[in-house]
Amino acid sequence: MIFDRSKALFAEACKHIPGGVNSPVRAFKSVGMTPIYIQHGKAGHIFDVDGNEYVDFISSWGPHILGHAHPAMIEAVKTAVERGTGFGACVEQEIEMAQKIKAFFPSMDMVRMVNSGTEATMSAVRLARGYTERNLIIKFDGCYHGHSDGFLVQAGSGVQTFSSVQNNGVTKSIVSETLVAEFNNIESVRTLFEKYPGQIAAVILEPVMGNMGVILPDVAFLQQLRDLCTLQGTILIFDEVITGFRLSKGGAQEYYGITPDLTCLGKIIGGGLPVGAFGGRQEIMDVLSPNGAVYQAGTLSGNPLALAAGCAMLDELAKSGTYEALEQKARYFSDKVSAIVAKYPDHLRYNVSGTLSTIFFTSKDVNNADDARSCDTERYARYFRKMIEEGIYLPPSQFEAIFVSGAHTEEDLDRAVTALDKTLASLF
């Protein structure tokens, strides 16, 4: 493939934008390339500025569960933008959006709209601290909850991809209020509760890790975590920015049957537009301003364009047969990938959960962040570059998930599987 136009654009971007990108993982540094500039997307495909076409398995990091430029969402946004791009005021559709979210997530008695997953998680933690009148939080090694200061402690996603990042600018006092436990290890959590009795406001986690690659929970671990938080009077927060609507209609909490106190959702509820939400038990949510003393605000919160796209997408997801078709495609793909990966037991592991999956370049099972760190990232980089040449667009990092969308055809999935088989055979 030729990338001349993308290379020229990146050279120009480096003159005006730090590192040439607006989010670090887009730099493609960890895979030994310069960024590919995307011109447009349609259904399960994206097209770059050099005219190259790819089957897209990033889906804008998850939200395009129905594919790019879905007609219902495009029409909804067109109608909304003609009325105005934003008002900084109440609009009727924010009520509709809250109602639709609650229908998918019954644990969310009340919903507050924000502009991103990062805003959702940082607001949920502030709310938990205000509600419990405690200061400390527990997160899990490798879980990523956005770039708010308190979450950049042993985080996944780009923080892990660029492992040299030391989080300069995050003060020691903030770091000291974030305690880190090991995913799938309930004893590591109990130890922290014993060390800091009556001081832990919240436990926050991705119920399925998606930002260290896909790492599945032990169901007993999730239940023990729920029981422990209840016993300790601590708020359990599920960050479902990645898992929401993908594992099931009601996210990981429905899939595993574990009910959190607060839930955070991200870009998927806006069909890829900038949006997020958090919500949960009414007695907790009532502590938010203007009812209570925990302040949270945003001029763009409840933006009508994001609401229009989100409501249209949720309507599509609610249609009969949508999830059955999506799950069938995901199983079709994962069964074929599993068969190929099984040829390389000394080199690869494959973790899959619904439409999310990751091929880990390691010989050990991946159940936590330390296991993921054993991966051969140099070999992953070679794999990535070869798959790009085959027209398969994957995350430019070992420590991310790939996503099957409802717009992927059987032909798309077969094309990716054929490329995978060919590429892995050339690497081992």
Residues carrying an active site annotation: 144, 239, 267
* Token duo for residue 144: 């990523």
SS (H, E, C) the chain: CCCHHHHHHHHHHCCCCHHHCCCHHHHCHHHCCCCCCEEEEEECEEEECCCCEEEECCCCCCCCCCCECCHHHHHHHHHHHCCCCCCCCCCHHHHHHHHHHHHHCCCCCEEEEECCHHHHHHHHHHHHHHHHCCCEEEEECCCCCCCCHHHCCCCCCHHHHCCCCCCCCCCHHHHCCEEEECCCCHHHHHHHHHHCCCCEEEEEECCCECCCCCECCCHHHHHHHHHHHHHHCCEEEEECCCCCCCCCCCHHHHHHCCCCCEEEECHHHHCCCCCEEEEECHHHHCCECCCCCECCCCCCCCCHHHHHHHHHHHHHHHCCCHHHHHHHHHHHHHHHHHHHHCCCCCCCEEEEECCEEEEECCCCCCCCHHHHCCCCHHHHHHHHHHHHHCCEECCCCCCCCEECCCCCCHHHHHHHHHHHHHHHHHHC
Q: Residue 391: how many CB atoms within 10 A of its CB?
A: 15
What b/e readout covers 281-296, taking b as 16+ CB neighbours within 10 angstroms?
beebbebbeeeeebeb
Handedness of CA 135, 267, 240, 152 (dihedral sign): negative
Token pair 């809250």 is found at: 98
Phi, psi of 137 (to 5 degrees): -130, 155
